[in-house]
C-alpha cells in the first residue's frame, strides 16, 4: 500500500468525510482507523484537523478518541502539530472535564505534550492537583461505572500522579500543601482493611499507592512522607503476593537513594537478605540484589558483601556477571581494611572466575601495587589460593603477578 499514493489519497479523503460527518459512531471509527494506521501522511493530513474536535461542543466519546488520536499523530510526527496559547489552555482545561473518560484520555495527551514542552503547560499542575484531591476525598460510590473494585477513577488517578512527576514539587505553597494532603490520604487508605477479598481490589489499591510513592520519591522533599512510604513498602516485603514483593523491592531501591529515607530503608536489611535466600523467582532475587546494592554504605558494607558472596555460590548464571561487578564495586568503595578487600576479591575470583572481567582483576593488582602494607599478605593468600585442586584462569593471572612482584 505504501507505493500507491493515489489509493492513499482516496483513503484519506474517505476518512476526512467520516470525521466531518454528524454521526458520532462514524467519527469514532474514523479516528480509530487513523490511530491504527497513523503514518506520516495521515499525520500531515489530520494533525491540525483533530484539535477542532476537542473544543467543539460534541459528544464526549468523540472527544476522548480525538485526544488519543492526536496523541498518536503527535508521536508519529511531533513537528506537524501547532497549537497557539489559547488552544493549549483549552486542552489543559480538559483535565477538569466532568466526563471521566474524556479526562482520562486527555491526561495521556497532555503528558506527552508536557514532555516536549514543560513550561508551556505549567498550568496543568494546579488543575491536576485539584482534580486529584477531588477524587481522593470523595466516596467511591460517587463514580458509578468508573469505580473498579471499590477504587474510584483509578486510571485517571494513576495518570494524574504520572503527569505530576514531570515537574518538581510545586512552588506555590497552597498547591503543594494540597498535594501533600492527597498523598497523605493515599498512604492512610493503604492501612484500611480491604473491602473485598478479590485480588483485583488489592492490586488496584496498590497500583495507586505505588504511583503515589513514585511521586513522593520524585519530589524528594517531604521526609515524613518518604519515611511513611518506606514503612509501607517494608510491610509489602513480607506479603504473600510475589508481585507485591517484586514491586516493593523495586521501589525501595529508589527510596534508598534519597537522603531522607536511606536510614529507614536500612532497617529492612535482614528481610531483604532473607528474600535473597528464599525467593523462588529469579526476577525477585535480582531486585533484592539491586536493593542491597542501593542500601549499602560504610556501616553495613561488610555484612552485605558477605551475604552477596554467599549467595553468589548458588546464584543463577544470568545474574552472576552483574553481581560480581556489584560486589567488586561495593568492596572497593567501602573498604576500610585492605586485607578484607583482598580476601573478598580473591574469594570472588574463586567462586565466579568466569564472570570476573579484566577491569575487576586489574583493579585488584592496582590496589596491591599502591599499598605497601598489604603486599606480603597478598602474596600469602595468593599462594594459598593456588594450592586449590582446580584454579580459574583469572586466579592464576592475579597470583602470577602478585607472586612475581613480591
Q: What is the dihedral of CA 52, 56, 62, 65, to 10 degrees?
A: 40
Cα separation, 160 vs 309, whole angstroms:
43
Minimum CB separation of residue 372 from another protein in Å reads 45
Nearer to another protein, 153 or 351 (CB): 153
Asked if 67 contacts 101 with a C-beta cutoff of 8 angstroms, the reply is: no
User: Minimum distance between the CB of residue 357 and another protein, rounded to whole angstroms?
Assistant: 22
Which C-beta is closer to another protein: that of 173 or that of 280? 280
What does the alpha-carbon distance between residue 126 and residue 193 come to, in Å, rounded to a whole number? 31
| Beta carbon of residue 34, minimum distance to another protein (angstroms, whole number) | 9
Residue closest to 252 by CA, chosen among 240, 267, 274, 241: 267
The rounded distance, in Å, linking the Cα atoms of 169 and 180 is 10
For the chain, the first-to-last Cα distance in angstroms comes to 74
Closest distance to another protein from the beta carbon of 108 (Å):
4
398: closest CA among 356, 340, 335? 356
DSSP 120: G
Residues of this chain that interact with another protein (CB under 8 A) are: 25, 28-29, 31-32, 35-36, 38, 61, 64-65, 68-69, 71-72, 75, 100-101, 104-105, 108, 145-146, 148, 153-156, 158, 162, 200, 203-204, 206-207, 210-211, 242-243, 245-247, 280-281, 283-284
Give the strand pairing for 151-152 and 147-148: antiparallel
Rg for the chain (alpha carbons), in Å? 28
Nearer to another protein, 162 or 266 (CB): 162
In whole angstroms, how close is the CB of 191 to another protein at the nearest point? 18
Nearer to another protein, 80 or 306 (CB): 80
Could you give the CA distance from residue 110 to residue 30 in angstroms, rounded to a whole number?
Answer: 22
DSSP secondary structure, 34-62, as one string: HHHH--HHHHHHHTTTTHHHHHSS--HHH
Task: Output the smallest distance, CB 206 to another protein, in A.
Answer: 6
Neighbours of 176 (CB within 10 A): 17
Q: Which is nearer to another protein, 118 or 283 (CB)?
A: 283
Retrieve residue 136's grid coordinates: 481522593
Q: Smaller CB distance to another protein: residue 136 or 309? A: 136
Contact predicate 294/262, CB 8 Å = no
Q: How far is the CB of 211 from another protein (least distance, A)?
A: 5
Q: Which is nearer to another protein, 185 or 207 (CB)?
A: 207
**Least distance between another protein and beta carbon 395 (Å):** 32
CB 125 within 8 A of CB 167: yes
Q: Which is nearer to another protein, 68 or 391 (CB)?
A: 68
Amino acid at each position: 500500500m505504501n507505493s500507491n499514493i493515489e489509493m492513499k489519497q482516496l483513503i484519506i479523503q474517505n476518512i476526512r468525510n467520516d470525521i466531518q460527518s454528524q454521526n458520532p459512531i462514524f467519527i469514532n471509527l474514523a479516528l480509530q482507523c487513523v490511530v491504527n494506521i497513523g503514518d506520516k501522511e495521515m499525520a500531515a493530513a489530520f494533525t491540525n484537523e483533530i484539535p477542532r474536535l476537542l473544543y467543539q461542543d460534541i459528544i464526549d466519546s468523540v472527544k476522548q478518541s480525538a485526544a488519543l488520536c492526536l496523541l498518536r499523530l503527535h508521536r508519529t510526527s511531533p513537528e506537524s502539530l501547532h497549537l497557539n496559547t489559547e488552544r493549549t489552555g483549552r486542552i489543559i482545561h480538559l483535565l477538569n472535564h466532568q466526563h471521566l473518560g474524556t479526562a482520562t484520555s486527555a491526561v495521556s495527551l497532555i503528558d506527552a505534550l508536557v514532555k516536549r514542552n514543560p513550561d508551556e503547560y505549567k498550568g496543568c499542575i494546579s488543575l491536576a492537583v485539584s482534580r486529584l484531591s477531588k477524587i481522593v476525598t470523595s466516596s467511591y460510590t460517587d463514580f458509578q461505572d468508573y469505580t473498579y473494585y471499590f477504587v474510584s477513577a483509578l486510571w485517571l488517578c494513576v495518570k494524574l500522579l504520572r503527569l505530576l512527576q514531570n515537574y518538581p514539587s510545586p512552588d506555590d505553597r497552597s498547591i503543594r500543601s494540597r498535594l501533600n494532603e492527597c498523598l497523605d490520604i493515599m498512604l492512610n487508605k493503604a492501612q484500611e482493611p480491604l473491602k473485598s477479598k478479590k485480588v483485583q481490589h488489592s492490586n488496584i489499591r496498590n497500583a495507586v499507592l505505588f504511583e503515589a510513592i513514585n511521586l513522593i520519591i520524585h519530589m524528594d522533599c517531604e521526609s515524613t512522607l518518604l519515611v511513611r512510604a518506606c514503612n509501607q513498602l517494608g510491610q509489602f516485603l513480607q506479603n504473600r503476593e510475589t508481585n507485591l514483593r517484586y514491586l516493593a523491592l523495586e521501589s525501595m531501591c529508589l527510596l534508598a537513594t534519597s537522603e531522607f529515607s536511606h536510614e529507614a530503608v536500612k532497617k529492612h536489611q535482614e528481610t531483604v537478605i532473607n528474600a535473597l535466600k528464599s525467593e523462588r523467582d529469579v526476577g525477585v532475587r535480582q531486585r533484592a540484589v539491586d536493593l542491597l546494592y542501593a542500601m549499602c554504605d560504610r556501616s553495613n558494607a561488610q555484612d552485605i558483601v558477605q551475604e552477596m558472596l554467599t549467595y553468589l555460590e548458588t546464584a543463577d548464571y544470568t545474574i552472576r556477571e552483574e553481581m560480581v561487578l556489584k560486589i567488586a564495586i561495593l568492596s572497593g568503595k567501602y573498604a576500610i581494611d585492605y586485607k578484607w578487600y583482598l580476601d573478598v576479591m580473591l574469594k570472588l575470583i574463586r567462586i565466579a572466575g568466569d564472570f570476573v572481567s579484566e577491569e575487576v582483576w586489574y583493579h585488584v593488582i592496582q590496589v596491591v601495587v599502591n599499598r605497601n602494607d598489604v603486599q606480603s599478605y597478598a602474596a600469602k593468600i595468593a599462594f594459598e589460593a593456588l594450592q586449590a585442586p582446580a584454579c580459574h584462569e583469572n586466579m592464576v593471572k592475579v597470583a602470577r603477578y602478585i607472586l612475581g612482584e613480591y
